[in-house]
Structure 1
Amino acid sequence: MVPLVRTLQRAWPSLPITWIIGKGEAKLLEGLEGVEFIVFDKKSGWAGLRDLRRRLAGRRFDVLLQMQLALRANLLSALIPAERRIGYDRARSKEGHGLFINERIAPGGHHVLDAFGKFCEPLGLMQDRVEWNLPVPQDARTWADEQLPGEQPTLLVSPCSSHALRNWAPARYAAVADHAAAQGWRIALCGGRSQLERDTGDAILAATKSPVIDLIGKDTLKQLLALLERATLVLSPDSGPAHMANAMGTKVLGLFACTDRERCGPYSDLRWSMNHYDEASRKFMGKPASELPWGKRVEFPGVMDLIGVEEVIERFDAFRAQLPPSD
């Protein structure tokens, strides 16, 4: 959503913007200039809704951009007093979305970022430029430089999505890592502090024959942004770090089968990412992806096995081949 914020700020530099945001996302975007964050804890239940209502008491907004479709977000939006309440077109609406808005964006924009960009059109704007400029403090960049010193090309593996069925097998990550190491690349692992991420990292470490820098659970969100920026290439399923890497200007070797690369792949450059979404839809849903609703996930055991090691290595080699020669 940050590119939409940048579009609004370019048109109206003094525009007050309030963003109701989750706890982790607020830490990630801390320091984003010109934006007031109101943090909402999704785990807080009815108490959180009452607290939000109290914090918004006496306020009124000219425009609400209701960019979340989940029922909880739709209910939460009812607490936000706004004259114009702009939401999704009818084809993408779900979970009572239409009950909480009074205007709709026009259809179009298959990629999520393009769909978000259409929210400025009812305001008379066009998102003709996509930029992030995420705030990253210098101490976070210093930390990343210390973890990955020098100029050796680095494959940073972020193996886990919050949706476990989107994750590739550890042995497959290890095979790609060993191939990259054989080409002179440095290998590093990153991830959060969950048990799934620790267990996945341990399984990758056990399966690799090459040295691996293990950074799982060792960074803050700001340090992760800097680490992703420092990498040459990021290997990841459809996950937050994949999109954070893209926002920081780093190319992503993305693994897409449960979700559609064309809808939610690394926006700036899809060339290096796999896309088995249509194959997954045909195999597990019995229909082509074109017949699925926008945003439908094909999350079944075995979906990610449709992505083979050799095709990922081929994309890695193609990426490596187009890099400028090192001195």
Structure 2
Amino acid sequence: MNQSEIKSIAIMRTSALGDIIWTLPMLNRIRKAMPNTKIYYITSNTFAPLLEGIEDVELIKIDKPKKLKDYFKLQRIFEPYHFDILLCAQANFRINFIYPFIKAKKKIGFDSKRGRDLQKFFIDESIPFKKEHSVEAFLGFSDQLGIVSSEIEFNLPIQKVTVGNLPLGDYVVIHPKASSLQRTWSTKRYIEVTNLIKEKYDIPIVLTGIPSDKDICHEIENESNAHIINLCGKTSLNELKNVFLSAKLVIAPDSGPAHMAAALNTPVVGLYTAVPPEYTGPYGQIHNCINAYPKALEHYFHKTIEDVPWRFRIKEDDMMDLITVNEVFEKLSSILNK
């Protein structure tokens, strides 16, 4: 199908925060190259606010199915639509079984390595496999449509709002928790870093997180000597964008908010042990990451990167302890001193 014949394209990605952000350069390439094509983005009600405000893109908001009857509800939602192209940019059992309920002349998904949970049986063609960052993996979908460009544009939509208790001057953000405890740096070390920031720079530190992160944020707030503004559980997605946009830098483990900050061109000190930041780090800011992945491979498996499969994940309970306070402080100092 030639580009001129494509009148409508739908992109499917319901989660998670970082993955949806990674799809934006692909979405923007399609928007630029095919201005006369109607573009839809199918996403969850949870993350739809992240995308609201993107020009010329219609959001189709759904709840991720949990029971069989939920799929029939989705069938009714998709009944009015018939797309020329469906980009199946998510691959897991629950999502793969949504694809048959979506009418499209062609459904494009991942290659066999990345198209998990039998996605190949739900698509018509796949993008080729490459060892690349996740942003570039999603750009494989626009490549498949014949769109060639070297531009990487996130253009994350922002609605300017005032966030309560946010300092007017310079501040550093710490988003301390990843989605798993294994990928979360120790609270004690976060506290040590905040004290060093207080001692050398004496600027406020803003803590962010979802409501379930409150324990770790409260402990940092209570034990630190620094000026702490605890916004954990108090910001919407749009408010979080505004917090990151005005920050001097963000310190975070492998997490969606790290990618949000990077998409807003805010410096991110990423803390990485489970996977190499070259694959899932804040895009364009791999040089700012603390990469303890090679050290972890040697420590736990006596192996090097060349000895393990692509994107081999480390899942040891104490692996984040391989990242030292000095490493993090030296990295953030190099950014603040600029």
* Change in CA separation of 1:294 and 1:98 when aligned onto 2, cut-off 3 Å: farther
In the superposition, the TM-score normalised over structure 1's length comes to: 0.90
- 1:121-270 correspondence runs (5 A): 121-138=143-160, 140=161, 142-143=162-163, 147-150=166-169, 152=170, 154-184=171-201, 185-194=203-212, 197-270=213-286
SS of the aligned residue for 1:63 comes to strand
Contact map agreement 1:118 1:127 (CA 8 A) in 2: no
Aligned-residue offset at 1:238: 0.6
* Change in CA separation of 1:289 and 1:54 when aligned onto 2, cut-off 3 Å: farther
Q: CA–CA distance in 1 between the matches of 2:185 and 2:100? A: 39
Contact map agreement 1:170 1:207 (CA 8 A) in 2: no
Aligned-residue offset at 1:17: 1.5
SS of the aligned residue for 2:73 comes to helix
Q: CA–CA distance in 2 between the matches of 1:266 and 1:57? A: 37
Aligned-residue offset at 1:287: 4.5
* Change in CA separation of 1:164 and 1:272 when aligned onto 2, cut-off 3 Å: same
Q: CA–CA distance in 2 between the matches of 1:71 and 1:298? A: 23
- 1:282-293 correspondence runs (5 A): 282-284=298-300, 287-290=303-306, 292-293=308-309
* Change in CA separation of 1:247 and 1:90 when aligned onto 2, cut-off 3 Å: same
Contact map agreement 1:242 1:266 (CA 8 A) in 2: yes
Q: CA–CA distance in 1 between the matches of 2:297 and 2:82? A: 44
Q: CA–CA distance in 1 between the matches of 2:198 and 2:50? A: 31
Name the residue aligned to 2:93. Answer: 71
Q: Which amino acid aligns with 1:158?
A: H
Name the residue aligned to 2:291. Answer: 275
Q: CA–CA distance in 1 between the matches of 2:143 and 2:62? A: 27
Contact map agreement 1:155 1:234 (CA 8 A) in 2: yes
Q: Which amino acid aligns with 1:73?
A: I
* Change in CA separation of 1:77 and 1:216 when aligned onto 2, cut-off 3 Å: same
**Looking at both structures, which has the greater relative contact order when contacts are Cα pairs under 8 Å and sequence separation is at least 6?**
2
Gaps of 5+ in 1: none
Q: CA–CA distance in 2 between the matches of 1:209 and 1:170? A: 14
Name the count of aligned residue pairs: 315
* Change in CA separation of 1:275 and 1:18 when aligned onto 2, cut-off 3 Å: same
* Change in CA separation of 1:290 and 1:163 when aligned onto 2, cut-off 3 Å: farther
| Aligned counterpart for 1:114 among listed residues 104, 115, 136 | 136
Name the residue aligned to 1:89. Answer: 111
* Change in CA separation of 1:286 and 1:87 when aligned onto 2, cut-off 3 Å: farther
| Aligned counterpart for 1:309 among listed residues 299, 302, 325 | 325
Q: CA–CA distance in 1 between the matches of 2:295 and 2:92? A: 27
Aligned-residue offset at 1:105: 1.1
Contact map agreement 1:22 1:39 (CA 8 A) in 2: yes
Aligned-residue offset at 1:294: 4.3
SS of the aligned residue for 1:108 comes to coil
Q: CA–CA distance in 1 between the matches of 2:239 and 2:112? A: 40
Contact map agreement 2:182 2:320 (CA 8 A) in 1: yes
Does residue 8 in structure 1 map to residue 23 in structure 2? no
